[in-house]
Amino acid sequence: MFCYQCQETVKGIGCTVKGVCGKEDEIAAYQDVLVFLCKGLAARNLAAMEKGGGNPEAGLFIAEALFATLTNVNFDKDRFNALIIKAVAFRDALPRSSSTEPDACTWKPRSESDILKKAETVGILATENEDLRSLRSTLLFGLKGISAYYTHAEVLGRTDDTITTFIQKALASMLQDLPVPDMVSLVLECGGVGVKTLALLDEANTSAYGTPEITTVKTTVGKRPGILITGHDLKDLEMLLEQSKNAGVDVYTHGEMLPAHAYPAFKKYPHLIGNYGSSWWHQKEEFDQFNGPVLFTTNCLVPPKENYKGRLFTTGMTGFPGVPNIEAGPGGTKDFSPVISLAKTCQPPNALPGNGKDLTTGCAHDAVLSLADKVVAAVKNGQIRRFIVMAGCDGRQKEREYYTEFAQALPKDTIILTAGCAKYRYNSLDLGTIGGIPRVLDAGQCNDCYSLVVIAQALAKAFGVGINDLPVSYNIAWYEQKAVLVLLALLHLGVKDITLGPKLPAFISPAVLDVLVKNFGIRKNSSVKEDLPRMVPAL
Ligand code: SF4
Ligand code: SF3
């Protein structure tokens, strides 16, 4: 195997024996072959579309397949095998585009050993040129981010063919020898399609569940048995809440589901009582203490310990061998009764040491813009010196303590704008308020970085300046491929001088980094001592 798609990759180079995430060599092989087949399917479908044909369902299938290969989503070989079979079936039902189609358009596995053998030649390292490999990888990982967000929007009935067509165009490009400038423009276009996808998901979430309101979330535990729901899919949460409302159990959010508390539609369920635990990588300790069932709706799934594995459920594209997956039935409905029945037999959750402090979330675009006058006045009269965007992901590595230290060291006249699970590094610190405005404004999940962009654009308009002339600095933390997409989206919007950490992506070659530095001023984070004066200039 060779995988370097996430920030925790071995030695900052690549996982070659087993993933730090727990991905086995065999699963990596199935994922590589699935991506390879999706490229062939995309190429054939695009050719058919140009002639007025094509299969309109192929785009969503490809998005779901790419989503399954994102870090910490699916570790189940049988599920990947089923996706491989489906990819071949989709592709072979389409007409051949020419007699000289690439291998990805014609190859099909006859056995498991065929898949493992093919994986040796079609993975990341199949592209020998380092810079081309870097550009293709950046594009592929950005597409995985688009695919995840698109899938969440689609279950809420929001679709956009231009997005799925771009995914296919970009995948098919990897079967051609495109010149470097064309590859660069596809990578930048990926950021633009990313913005569109984030906006689509924002619209899907807010039209289904209302506009997030600034909300205080409890982190204490109740006396009834609980169900813990994690991941990013709000439709799954809705179905779970509706089905469990009279079951005598409580529902808690974990990780990236925390911002769900801010949506008016979920506030009407009194048994959604709070948030349990923190970001994804603490799950081994926290799930053990929770005592009740845990439902995974997306990443980040860590291979479970035996003492709680029997209480896990997955749904959507997530999967783990031996963990039941709740599939969608007709009309997308899901039956969560096995989760609810198990909860009734469980002990209530144990309180977690250090938990108990309220958390604030729901500072999405409408909620913050309703305070716009207050915010603009506070900037003008010097109460707010600067905003620091600290959005992104959390992760296991010790060097991420930097983000807690950075938040603590920020002067009291600064405000942190955040989204994603990076916030757990500082959202329970007592950072206070400025004139009633919380110093940590949590817009929501990583996809709600879109909200931060809307806020920045509105501030730029209010001050009559460009987005890079605002008193805003970017100190972004990344881990997986949705963060890659968010970064590309920010670049597409023209945001400059982003600081990225805790490491630069292993898939960025020195030449590609040079382009990013020259055109966008991207740099790696350093120490709090060095970064703070740069991001918050002295008065
Ligand atoms: Fe390694 Fe990350 Fe790939 Fe897992 S997802 S195999 S940790 S690079
Ligand atoms: Fe977190 Fe996985 Fe990225 Fe959605 S849940 S931000 S790491």
Q: How confident is the model over 337-378, as pLDDT tens digits? A: 999 999 999 999 999 988 889 999 999 999 999 998 899 999
* Nearest-angstrom CA–CA distance, 526 and 524: 6
Q: What average pLDDT score do residues 215-234 get?
A: 98
For residue 71, CA distances in Å to 50, 107, 219, 303, 308 come to 33, 26, 27, 12, 21
Q: Is the CB–ligand 2 distance for residue 420 below 6 Å?
A: yes
What is the DSSP secondary structure assignment for residue 502, as one 8-state letter?
S
Q: Is the CB–ligand 2 distance for residue 480 below 6 Å?
A: yes
In degrees and rounded to multiples of 5, residue 420 shows phi and psi of 95, 180
What count of residues does the chain have? 539
- 452 confidence band (pLDDT: 50, 70, 90): very high
The pTM of this model reads 0.98
Q: How confident is the model over 418-444, as pLDDT tens digits? A: 999 999 999 999 999 999 999 999 999
Ligand nearest to the CA of 392: 2
Ligand nearest to the CA of 484: 2
Measuring from each residue's beta carbon to the nearest atom of ligand 1, which residues come in under 6 Å?
3-6, 8-9, 15, 19-21, 23, 71
- Tokens 């980094």 -> residue: 513
Closest residue by CA, ligand 1 atom 2: 6
* Nearest-angstrom CA–CA distance, 210 and 207: 6
Provide the mean pLDDT of the chain.
97
Q: Decide: 16 and 67 in contact? Cβ < 8 Å.
A: no
Give the percent of the chain with pLDDT over 90: 98
Q: What average pLDDT score do residues 486-508 get?
A: 97
The pLDDT score that the predictor gives to residue 367 is: 95
Q: How confident is the model over 7-52, as pLDDT tens digits? A: 999 999 999 999 999 999 999 999 999 999 999 999 999 999 999 9
Closest residue by CA, ligand 1 atom 3: 3
The pLDDT score that the predictor gives to residue 354 is: 82
The pLDDT score that the predictor gives to residue 332 is: 93
For residue 497, CA distances in Å to 345, 467, 535 come to 53, 12, 10
Q: Is the peptide bond before 446 cis (omega within 30 degrees of 0)?
A: no
What is the DSSP secondary structure assignment for residue 74, as one 8-state letter?
B
131 sits in which H/E element: helix 130-155
| Reduced 3-state DSSP string for 416-476 | EEECCHHHHHCCCCCCCEECCEECEEECCCHHHHHHHHHHHHHHHHHHCCCHHHCCEEEEE
Q: How confident is the model over 121-130, as pLDDT tens digits? A: 999 999 999 9
Q: How confident is the model over 463-473, as pLDDT tens digits? A: 999 999 999 99
Closest ligand 1 atom to Cα of 7? 2
Burial class from Cβ neighbours inside 10 Å (0-12, 13-18, 19+) for residue 493 reads middle
The pLDDT score that the predictor gives to residue 538 is: 82
* CA angle in degrees (0–180, nearest 5) for 329-335-336: 145
- Tokens 């409890």 -> residue: 218
Whether the per-residue pLDDT at 539 is higher than 80: the answer is no
* Nearest-angstrom CA–CA distance, 224 and 334: 24
Ligand nearest to the CA of 478: 2
Token couple for 218: 């409890």
Give the percent of the chain with pLDDT over 70: 100
The pLDDT score that the predictor gives to residue 355 is: 86
